[in-house]
Each structure stands twice: as C-alpha cells, then as structure tokens.
Amino acid sequence: MSHTNSLPLDRAPIEGSRTADRRPRMLLGRVRVGSRTLHGIVEGDTIHVVRGGLFGRLERTGESFTAREATLLAPTAPTKVVAIGLNYRTHLGDERDAPANPEPFLKAPSSVIGAGEPIVLPADAGRVDEEGEVVAVIGRRARNLTEDQVDDHVLGYTGGNDVSARHWQRDDLQWWRAKSADSFTAVGPFIATDLDPERIGLRVSVNDEVVQQATTADLIHSVRKCIAWISRSMTLERGDLVFTGTPGETRQLAPGDSVRVEVEGVGYLVNPVVAESP
C-alpha cells in the first residue's frame, strides 16, 4: 500500500484473546489503484479483487495487486458510525456505576480515515486523546435484531480509533466536533470474518509504548447486545460501523506521535498525528 511495502498484518498474539490459535477465515480490504476504488480478499501481501464489493458473493475477477501497487483505504464507506460509550469497567473508573444498557452515540461518516492517513489535531481543540476499539462491520441491513441474530448481520471486525477532543467533549452541549472532527474516526486496516466477538484481543500503542490492552470478554455489554440494542431504534445498513468501547486510560496525542491499534486477527491500524495547518 502507499504507506508500506507490506500489508499491516498482526504477528503476535494478544494476551487473553482466543484468536491466537485461530486465523480468520478471510481478510477483506478496500484499496485505491489509480482512479479506481476496489475491494478484495487479502492473502499475504496481495489483494485479490472481487466483483461488486464486499457484501456479495466475493467472486474473484482474476486481477490482483501487491502492497506496493495500491493505496489502502478505510475498509468501508459507512452511512453511519455508531460508538458505544463507557463499555469497559477499566474506562469507567471506581466512582461511576456501569450503565444499565449500552450508551450509543453517533460519529460523522465524514470523519472516517483509513490506515496511514493522518489524524489532524485542530488548533483550538485543546486535549485530544486516542481511543482504540474493536469495530463491528455490518454486513446486512439490521433492524430489531435479537442477540442471537446479530452474527448473521455482521460481515466481520476491524480496528478503530475513536479520536476524542476532551475539552470540546466537556464544554459543548453535543459531541458533534469532539468525536466527529475531520480525521477523528480512523478505521482498518482490514475486515476479518469469523472472529469470536466474545473474546477479540485489542492492543493500542503510542510511539511503540503499549497504552491500552483488553479483550472483548471485558466489555460491560457484549458486542451482540450492543448491536441488538442499537437496531431496536435505528436501522443499520451494510458497511455501517459499530465501535464497541475503549478500555482503560487513554493517551493524549501530540503532533509527531504515531498511534497503532491492533485487533488480533485483523492486523494493525497505524496513523500519524499532525497539527492542523494554519
């Protein structure tokens, strides 16, 4: 891809996950080659192009590209991004009670970026933190699901960074810019199918220092419960993204930083951090 000579695949297991001895059935990606946006199946350092996008039969065209020949994009272009707040006990702290139900909020699709694209810190935003998360990718239109129906409506899982401006989050009535400023929703690098949503490993590093680590087994509300809960009030479309929550303490970002979100079985999402241009 444009930012690397090899694909950002994971190499080491994450403690507590169940994917260390179980490779996903398939890795799916979205790339740009010249003026074309293409979808495909990732095998090694090659993406094999499929017809009609990622939500159909995944029929290969016979065309393929290596990491050097294509630019990696966010794996979908969602109609909406839904994120779950306060969904790890380690992120809540000792003074707050766990919410009785999932606490969703929306992020603007215009804030989505892919692997290698810069996270831009607005000049007037104050403190901006990373929030690494496991992200579900909706594969079929979903409305009024039960938890038992969720897996049939999820294409797979990817990594995400719910970048958050803390001063705006605290001072604004709504989180419209705190969570949805341009570049504040990093997603990728790929979609992994057939992962167990109950125990997916997550590890986040800033400048090679591990700052967050957990598995989805630690969630207050499970992935399936969160998606079913959202679908009771909001139709989820193919390609929509559900961020499932961030664990522990988050790290303030500064220009020059590099943030790496690794979801085991998916690969690693790396984004540089830059200051907004004057």
Residue 96 covered by a domain: yes
Determine the pLDDT at residue 25: 80
Q: What is the pLDDT of residues 159-174, one digit of tens each?
A: 999 999 999 999 999 9
Nearest to 200 by CA among 263, 260, 276, 277: 263
Determine the pLDDT at residue 251: 98
Question: Model confidence at 201, in pLDDT bands (50, 70, 90)?
Answer: very high
Q: What is the pLDDT of residues 80-134, one digit of tens each?
A: 999 999 999 999 877 789 999 999 999 999 999 999 999 999 999 999 999 999 9
Residue 55 covered by a domain: no
Q: What is the CATH number of the domain that holds 246?
A: 3.90.850.10
Determine the pLDDT at residue 23: 46
Residue 102 covered by a domain: yes
Residue 58 covered by a domain: no
pTM: 0.93
Q: What is the pLDDT of residues 40-84, one digit of tens each?
A: 999 999 999 999 999 999 999 999 999 899 999 999 999 999 999
Determine the pLDDT at residue 21: 43
Tell me the pairing of strands 46-50 and 267-275. Answer: unpaired
Residue 170 covered by a domain: yes
Give the range of the structural domain holding residue 242, as residue numbers without chain letter: 74-275
Residue 18 covered by a domain: no
Q: What is the pLDDT of residues 216-253, one digit of tens each?
A: 999 999 999 999 999 999 999 999 999 999 999 999 99
Determine the pLDDT at residue 11: 53
Determine the pLDDT at residue 96: 83
The domain total for the chain is 1
User: Cα 60 vs. chain centroid, distance in angstroms?
Assistant: 25
Residue 158 covered by a domain: yes
